[in-house]
Amino acid sequence: MNRWEAEREAFRKLAGAARAPVAIVGAGLSAESGVPTFRGPGGLWRSHRPEELATPGAFQRDPRLVWEWYNWRRGRVAQATPNPAHRWLAAYERQVPSFLLITQNVDGLHGLAGSRNLVEFHGNLWVVRCTRCGREREDRSVPVPVPPRCPDCGGLCRPGVVWFGEAIPRDALARSIAAVQACDLLLVLGTSAVVHPVAGLPDLAPEAPLVEINPASTPLTPRARLSVRAPVGEFLAPLLADGTEENG
Ligand code: OAD
């Protein structure tokens, strides 16, 4: 018997029956694409201090240092491609059009895999925002000339991501809350589920069955209907062949 076959069968049933599923995903989803996670072995927050790199105060103090770190991350992400987990999520959306994917990842790999019904809860690494006029633009250069200036007003630009201590953009939050409140299945994939407000979203759907796929346990594990201790790409890869599976 293949590894996780029983869990895959249970997963297939839950995913196939759902009419309004939502997935909440984190850095672990891109781990198999070679993008480092934040916590856990090899995690970025093991060797970097978040308050020196990912807060508005850090950017005010030293925009160059913050941009250099983002340039390093851009370099890593530029070499990464979607893995089977990204591809399965994009295929699931084609199968169940109401499916909403809420990602904490800023790497843009879901878009590359074809996901469209997507909330990038913490923004996107390839977006640059002017701190003076607020204008956002896509900039895929690696590295970005540091620190970048706004082509419209000359203001200092920052990464278009959400830092610690900042609010989640109103639309992203409202869309996520509405979808979770109405969902009939919650997939929680590759996230440590400790960073709020994302970590609190499952509380809005106490009745929805929750499926977790993560090699480690998380605060949501006790509530999970199905908890699979597996790398999510490896777990979902065989399900990609189910493309013709009927929903419901
Ligand atoms: P974390 O780094 O906190 O957690 C990554 C999770 O992925 C851990 O629970 C790992 O066990 C799990 N994991 C590792 N490899 C995996 C794999 N192959 N398959 C499945 N799971 C795997 O990342 P997030 O939960 O995304 O925020 O962190 C949330 C937020 O904290 C990030 O968006 C970022 C960070 O600070 C901001 O920068 C605002």
Query: Is residue 86 lining ligand 1, measured as CB closer than 6 Å?
Result: no
Query: Is residue 33 lining ligand 1, measured as CB closer than 6 Å?
Result: no
86 a catalytic residue: no
* Rounded (to 5) percent helix, strand, coil in the chain: 40, 15, 45
**DSSP SS3 for 139:** coil
Helix extents (H) in the chain:
5-17, 28-31, 44-47, 50-53, 56-61, 63-78, 84-95, 109-113, 170-181, 232-236
Query: Is residue 28 lining ligand 1, measured as CB closer than 6 Å?
Result: yes
Mean pLDDT of 189-194: 97
pLDDT > 50? residue 15: yes
pLDDT > 50? residue 244: no
Mean pLDDT of 163-190: 97
Domains in the chain, please, with CATH? 5-35+82-122+168-247 (3.40.50.1220), 36-79+126-161 (3.30.1600.10)
pLDDT > 80? residue 186: yes
pLDDT > 50? residue 1: yes
Set 48, 86, 110, 122: catalytic member: 122
pLDDT > 60? residue 248: no
Q: What is the pLDDT of residues 53-81, one digit of tens each?
A: 999 999 999 999 999 999 999 999 999 99
> Which residue has the CA at smallest separation from atom 35 of ligand 1?
38
Of ligand 1's atoms, which has the minimum distance to the CA of residue 166? 39
**pLDDT at 193 (0 to 100):** 96
Q: Give 166-171's long-range contacts (Cβ < 8 A, gap of 24+).
A: 166/56, 168/121, 168/122, 168/197, 169/123
Q: Which residue has tokens 């990038």?
A: 120
Report how far residue 123's alpha carbon sits from residue 136's, in angstroms, rounded to the nearest whole number. Answer: 11
CB 171 within 8 A of CB 118: no
**pLDDT at 242 (0 to 100):** 82
CB 65 within 8 A of CB 52: yes
**pLDDT at 224 (0 to 100):** 98
Mean pLDDT of 135-143: 96
Query: Is residue 159 lining ligand 1, measured as CB closer than 6 Å?
Result: no
What's the gap in Å between 43 CA and the centre of ligand 1? 8
Report how far residue 106's alpha carbon sits from residue 125's, in angstroms, rounded to the nearest whole number. Answer: 5
CB 232 within 8 A of CB 32: yes
Report the percentage of the chain scoring pLDDT > 90: 90
Six-digit token pair at 77?
Answer: 């992400």
145: Cβ contacts below 8 Å, ≥ 6 apart: none
